Structure 1
Amino acid sequence: PLKEKFVAAARSIKVGYGLDESAQMGPLISHKHKDKVLGFIETGIAEGGELLLDGRNIQVEGYPEGAFVGPTVFDGITPEMTIAREEIFGPVVAIVRAKSLDQAISFINSGRYGNAASIYTNNGFYAREFRYRVQAGNIGINLGVAAPMAYFPFGGYKKSFFGDTHGQGRDGIHFYTERKVVITRWIKERK
């Protein structure tokens, strides 16, 4: 039943103009990126993924030329498939099944990207293991997109990392600060 509930929740997402307060998801950044996301969906189908929810032909009233892609959900995805290995940056979920937490973490860590990873669990041990062992810059526990507030450093690990520092939070301050180490020893004066 989890799969059906997930698809129903994805189907209920209201896609619309980005400034429409009732919209839950806006358009992609450009038509070029829309084409890229649509290409990933086509690749997922060609590689044998089971398309549970197809967001390719979504129409948003008043915006016939908008760069919209609706929520898209695949099942039957294996770790070797393209949509499981690439950063899509679009509303595409690839359900990859794991037999154990160790297998799931191994799959995540085997990839060349490490922007974010999330786990849903009521088990504190699993949450701690995931938190410490997953090689990703942003970890979510019981939430879908691990996006920190602006005062935390943002950026992924591996090929997801951009720049030379995590540009927010303490890393940003340290980048513009000259730090020094001061070692002191106080000698008591003799009388």
Structure 2
Amino acid sequence: VQAQGGAKNYIAVMPDADMTASVANIMGSAFGCAGQRCLAGSVVVAVGDAYEPLKAELLKRAAGLRVGYGLEETTQMGTVISDAAKQRIEGMISAGENEGAQVVLDGRGSTIEGFEAGSFVGPTILDGVTSDMSVARDEIFGPVLSIMHAEDFDSAVDMINQSRYGNAASLFTSNGKHAREFKYRIRAGNIGINVGVAAATASFPFGGQKESFFGDLHGQGPDSIEFFTDKKILIERWL
């Protein structure tokens, strides 16, 4: 068996991180492709004093994203795949709100002039998210970013590892010690350090851990060749 599962990709941001670069990468990760990709970062864990400046800059940048028809040059984010997906995404935003999250940027009910039938969901940011909320546990697959707060690095690692998924996780920091600990302690198949989308080239095996992957050998790279290879052993003796 070789099957990719779901994902809930976390991004941790330390106080020593380059905030400008971090925000730019997070924006691309969360809202690129309208959040409809398996490696999209959907939860940001702001560590310590990074919380307030990170939240403020993410709100500013996300509110300024130009949503529209995907083939127009000025568009920065297009539609989600279908009306059913739009309804599901908006339903999950509402569920998070009902569970206590604060919708600080609301993309529900978005319409674009001239494309009223389009399945548009605007950039959405939820604050005050905790690990027990559905928006922190379940894959949304849309332009929705949840913000959590951790007191320190160890708490951030614990928050990330609580997820039943383990497709990808990233850390933004200028501290080599934290980077090294992160890559060894996080239970995910794709780890990024100062990278918003932890996607390797096709020459490397791709796949997550925990409920993000089912099987022994991952896709892409040598694992995919191994998976489709039938082996045989030849034993010969010449007299």
Q: Distance in 2 between matches of 1:36 and 1:164?
A: 32
1:151 paired residue number: 203
Root-mean-square deviation (Å): 2.2
1:24 paired residue number: 76
Q: Distance in 1 between matches of 2:130 and 2:71?
A: 37
Tell me the alpha carbon deviations over residues 60-116 of structure 1, each in whole angstroms, 9 at most, x when there is no partner. 233211121111111111111111111111111111111121111111112111122
Cα distance change, pair 169–25 in 1 and its aligned pair in 2 (3 A): farther
The one of the two structures with greater contact order (alpha-carbon pairs below 8 A, sep at least 6) is 2
Of 130-139 and 20-29, the range deviating more from structure 2: 20-29
Tell me the alpha carbon deviations over residues 3-23 of structure 1, each in whole angstroms, 9 at most, x when there is no partner. 111111112222223333433
Q: Cα distance, 1:163 vs. partner?
A: 6.3
Cα distance change, pair 72–135 in 1 and its aligned pair in 2 (3 A): same
1:64-103 correspondence runs (5 A): 64-103=116-155
| 1:172 aligned onto 2:224 | yes
Letter in 1 for 2:169: A
Of 35-44 and 139-148, the range deviating more from structure 2: 139-148
2:102 paired residue number: 50
Cα distance change, pair 108–59 in 1 and its aligned pair in 2 (3 A): same
1:122 paired residue number: 174
Letter in 1 for 2:212: S
Q: Distance in 2 between matches of 1:133 and 1:21?
A: 42
Larger radius of gyration: 1
Q: Cα distance, 1:164 vs. partner?
A: 5.9
- Paired residues in the alignment total 182
Q: Cα distance, 1:149 vs. partner?
A: 3.1
2:92 to 32, 36, 40: 40
Unaligned stretches of 5+ residues in structure 1? 183-191
| Secondary structure, counterpart of 2:150 in structure 1 | coil
Tell me the alpha carbon deviations over residues 132-172 of structure 1, each in whole angstroms, 9 at most, x when there is no partner. 11111222222323233333332222222256642211211
Q: Distance in 2 between matches of 1:163 and 1:23?
A: 39
Give the strand-richer structure, 1 or 2: 2
Q: Cα distance, 1:173 vs. partner?
A: 1.8
Q: Distance in 1 between matches of 2:112 and 2:158?
A: 40
Q: Percent identity?
A: 54
Cα distance change, pair 16–156 in 1 and its aligned pair in 2 (3 A): farther
Letter in 2 for 1:153: P
Q: TM-score, with normalisation over the residues of structure 1?
A: 0.85
Letter in 1 for 2:76: Q
Letter in 2 for 1:154: F
Cα distance change, pair 90–172 in 1 and its aligned pair in 2 (3 A): same
| Secondary structure, counterpart of 1:97 in structure 2 | strand
Cα distance change, pair 16–146 in 1 and its aligned pair in 2 (3 A): farther
Of 168-177 and 33-42, the range deviating more from structure 2: 168-177
Cα distance change, pair 160–19 in 1 and its aligned pair in 2 (3 A): farther
1:185 paired residue number: none
Letter in 2 for 1:13: L
